[in-house]
Amino acid sequence: MITNYNQRLLFCIFSIGVLYFPIDVSAFPVEKVEIEGARTHSNVVRQLLDTTAENEFDPETWKRDIQRIKNTGLFYDLHHEVEEENGKQVIHFHLRNKISLIPIFKYKQGGGTSLLTVGAYEVNFLDRLLEIGAQYENMSGRSGGVAWFRHPYFYSRRNNFGTEVYVHTINLPLFTSEGVEEGDFDNEEVRWNTRFLRELTDNVRAGIGLSLYRKYYTTPLPLWERLGEGNRSPFTLPYPSHQGRGIIINSCPVI
């Protein structure tokens, strides 16, 4: 409690000084950044921030950090508080995760073909912003599926890694050399893809991808019994069944 005139005078002078000469808290180094409220591990969130401990607090850098977190589309209710303690700053960063398990359901029909897709994917797997998903596909009674894994911040927020395996069967028409549809055949494919992307600048990414696949074609034998050698199209399969395997490696910049 202020009990005498001198103390009151000093208090007034100090208050006026604070009002007219405010302390620039941005000049203080950051002691730590506290991540609060999120299910995602705090170290994963810090990986997306340029504002780090032992560096001076820069409002523009922090503004970009906030926008980067928003751009993930995985968080809401973002706000922060900056406290000054012993000449250093402590940033309390509050954010909350959106629902991270996303269901998949699609049904399409047309041209005598139907496609049903059912699945789900999780974008905060193990609370580390990892994406894992799977879906079942049924195309006109033929089953297939896809499973995938994504690491959008693979040891760095500038790295992106992904891999997927999918199995599907497509029924395709079979024509004679005169263009008359005589039947159909199934194209069964098993494929594994993996890729790595590196963000070189804010607008340019470069990467490399690898794809391994196996295709298996089957044609009903009664069709081949009906078609004579002279009626077979040069574009149809030479045998009732056929297998193909391959490897594809590609690399290119992405702008």
Reported as a single tens digit per residue, the pLDDT across 19-63 is 444 445 455 788 889 999 999 999 999 999 999 888 888 889 999
Sign of the Cα pseudo-torsion (37, 38, 43, 45, in order): negative
Query: What residue type is 89 in one-letter code?
Result: Q
How confident is the model at residue 187, as a pLDDT?
Answer: 82
Please list, residue by residue across 122-159, b when 16 or more beta carbons sit within 10 angstroms of its beta carbon and e when fewer do. ebbbeeebbbbbbbebbbeeeebbbebbbbbbbeebeb
**Arithmetic mean of pLDDT over the chain:** 81
CA proximity to 40, closest of 64, 79, 75, 77: 75
How confident is the model at residue 219, as a pLDDT?
Answer: 63
Could you tell me if 141 and 173 are in contact, meaning their C-beta atoms sit under 8 angstroms apart? no
How confident is the model at residue 226, as a pLDDT?
Answer: 46
Q: What count of other Cβ atoms lies within 10 Å of the Cβ of residue 95?
A: 20
Is it the case that residue 88 has pLDDT exceeding 90?
no
What are the structural domains, with CATH classification, of the chain? 5-97 (3.10.20.310), 101-254 (no CATH)
How confident is the model at residue 5, as a pLDDT?
Answer: 58
**177-204 average pLDDT score:** 86
Angle formed at CA 66 by CA 64 and CA 68, multiple of 5 degrees: 70
CA distance 78 to 89: 19
**pTM listed for this prediction:** 0.73
How confident is the model at residue 243, as a pLDDT?
Answer: 63
